Structure 1
Amino acid sequence: MDELSAAERDTGAVIATRALTKRYRGGQLAVDGLDLTVPEGSVFGFLGPNGSGKTTTIRMLMGLIEPTSGSARVLGRPMPRSTRAVLPHVGALIEGPALYGFLSGRDNLLRYDAADPTADPRTRRARVAAALDRVGLTAAAGKKAKAYSLGMKQRLGLAAALLQPRRLLVLDEPTNGLDPQGMREIRALVRELASDGTTVFLSSHLLDEIEQVCTHAAVMARGRLITQGPVAELAAGARGRLVVTTPDPGDAARVLKEQGVTDVVVTDDRATGEPPEPPRDLAEVNAALVTAGVRVRGFGLQRASLEDAFVALTGEGFDVAG
């Protein structure tokens, strides 16, 4: 544990785990030897298909379940041993909010705030009003929680996590159930929190979500950590795709294959594929297309995405519905 603390001081890690493992009864290995480092001040995306071990990891970090082996530190303290000292500085929304359906959204937050021994009761209503406004629920504050949509419940759970200033905010699938506008609002809120100095740890199975809002990310698959680092570096580690826009996609595909392009896919007006390996001057590929009579209307290299990186690392697709 002391060794881990020294590493944290060197790296500025808000969360650090070493060989963190959780095996359930019956032998199911949910998390397998996880070494995770979350830099202070980052928006850290914890990425993986459903069932990859993300929520189990978060539950261990928050002291909700004991690890089978390994260690975890949050805000420099060992978990779950330091739960009482750590959790007042952490806001969390895990596996959806726990709400009193017969109470209004406002009264739910008043209950949450009253349960916090550090919360000043004299400013409770002001804190609740500010949290409701921050997640766009002021107009629905008087409605009973059981009448809330799934997206509204997610917003209310996020408001509960924001009642007090937090050094760390842990969000497990925070955009679940939200419409596109709601997702944009949550992304904007996460960026705002990060700019205020809060470290945000964001679990999601939505690659696009992570790519838009996160500065750093880790990729999980089948309980194991595949990779972690700055988002730009993770995507840069995967090769982009060569895209040719043309009214002759079939002919373009044939020429691309002759030029060493692999995994060629043809659609109505384009042909795409993996650039040649070893790399070659793409101007030569473009010249070959023109020489063959292909009418090239667009030619370029499309930047690799996190999904491309995931496929390159695991050899499989990213099942967002799994």
Structure 2
Amino acid sequence: MTELAVETHGLTKRFGRQLAVDDLDLAVPRGAVFGFLGPNGSGKTTTIRIVLGLAAASAGSVRVLGHDMPKALGTVLPRVGALVEGPAAYPFLSGEANLRRLDAADRHASPRTRDQRVVQALERVGLSHAGAKRVRAYSLGMKQRLGIAAALLRPRDLLVLDEPTNGLDPQGTREVRSLVRSLADGGTTVVVSSHLLAEIEQICTHAAVMRTGRLVAQGSLDELRGLGRSRLRVLTPDPGRAREELARLGLAVEHEDGVARADGTATVRAELPDEPPLLETLAAALVAADVRLRGFEVEQDTLEDRFVALTGEGFDVAQ
């Protein structure tokens, strides 16, 4: 059985009559880069706040790093770094001074090695050149990186990042992705909450999908992709005969507008069953039915197709 870094059972959160999180069973494997995906307002941040002890659940249970929460806050939180709902910093202080203040508030941190920790945290997020600047002069992306640096002042078993690339330029985004991968390679479990599908696909090993407070799917990325459909795509100048033959073979033929291309061919698509016939058999049957084949391939639902189907809503899929 896979050891879990975060697990919830029946987790529920109500705000008056609004049900923000509805009976959530979440399972984050240790060592994973876990994408927490869903449209804005789907309940991701509320769930994270409950997991970290920043909000109380209305019902259900939470375990983090093997301990019941919020009972074990004092034991668990020193092992957890988090950036939730954007970074907060004193604008009139420098980035370095902000990190020193945060480090000083940690009763488990040795004052003798504080400067070293601050320098290393700034280096890891690419802010060494701006550590002496006041935070009021930082761009949004720089503030985001400073927030991640604060989460990395000490070694962490679990790192929780809520929209970590918000406001970052493409270079900053690549740096954060590289940082997340390096942390995971070092044994840290990383939870990345995002509404950006590209974010999840490029850095995560596992994911969960939320919709209006409910969990609609979770698992490894390969497992989630496997939930999608496979379709046969046939390019032919004989679309009518192709549809008839595919239907005769028991395939569900998708509706097409029948518009031919400039070369006189049209596309016919049919959904393949879980155990489809051999492609060679399908091709031979079409040829035997006098269907001229100009193209013949299997199309698989992308992760984007699958997530949009699960949530009923679109995602931002590009940076």
When normalised by structure 1's length, the TM-score is 0.84
The superposition leaves residues 241-290 of structure 1 with CA deviations (integer Å, 9 ceiling, x where unpaired) of 5567x7x8xx5876775545426588989958563447344456667599
Alpha-carbon distance in structure 1 between the residues aligned to 2:255 and 2:154: 51
Residue among 67, 71, 78 paired with 1:81: 71
Q: Which runs of 5+ in 1 are unaligned?
A: 1-9
Partner residue of 1:52? 42
**Equivalence for 1:228:** 218
Match of 1:188 in 2: 178
Q: 1:301 aligns with which of 294, 298, 301?
A: 298
Letter in 1 for 2:297: G
- Of 125, 147, 160 in structure 1, the residue corresponding to residue 137 of structure 2 is 147
Partner of residue 318, structure 1: 314
CA RMSD for the aligned pairs?
A: 2.9
CA contact 1:171–1:201 (8 Å) conserved in 2? yes
Q: Which has the larger radius of gyration?
A: 2
Aligned residues of 1:264 and 1:272 also touching (Cα < 8 A): yes
Q: Please state how far the C-alpha of 1:294 moved relative to its aligned partner.
A: 6.3
Name the residue aligned to 1:5: none
Separation (CA, whole Å) in 1 of partners of 2:268 and 2:141 = 37
**Shift of the alpha carbon at 1:240?**
4.0
1:255 & 1:208 partners in 2: Cα distance? 40
Q: 1:94 aligns with which of 60, 64, 84?
A: 84
The yes-or-no answer on 1:21 pairing with 2:12 is yes
For 1:267 and 1:177, the matched residues in 2 are separated by 44
Contact 2:196 2:315 in 1 (8 A): no
CA distance in 1, matches of 2:314, 2:268: 20
Between the aligned partners of 1:55 and 1:272, the Cα distance in structure 2 is 43
- 2:56 corresponds in structure 1 to 66
- The Cα shift of 1:126 comes to 1.3
Q: Render the CA deviation track for 1:171-190: whole Å, top value 9, x for unaligned.
A: 11111111222222211111
Task: Tell me how far apart the structure 2 counterparts of residues 268 and 115 of structure 1 sit (CA, whole Å).
Answer: 68
Cα pair 1:241 1:272 within 8 Å, conserved: no
**How many residue pairs are counted as aligned between the two chains?**
304
Q: Secondary structure at the match of 1:218?
A: strand
Deviation at 1:292?
5.0
State the alpha-carbon separation in 1 of the partners of residues 130 and 308 from structure 2.
42
Q: Unaligned 5+ residue runs, structure 2?
A: 247-251
Distance 1:154 1:129 in 2: 17
Q: Tell me the TM-score normalized by structure 2.
A: 0.85
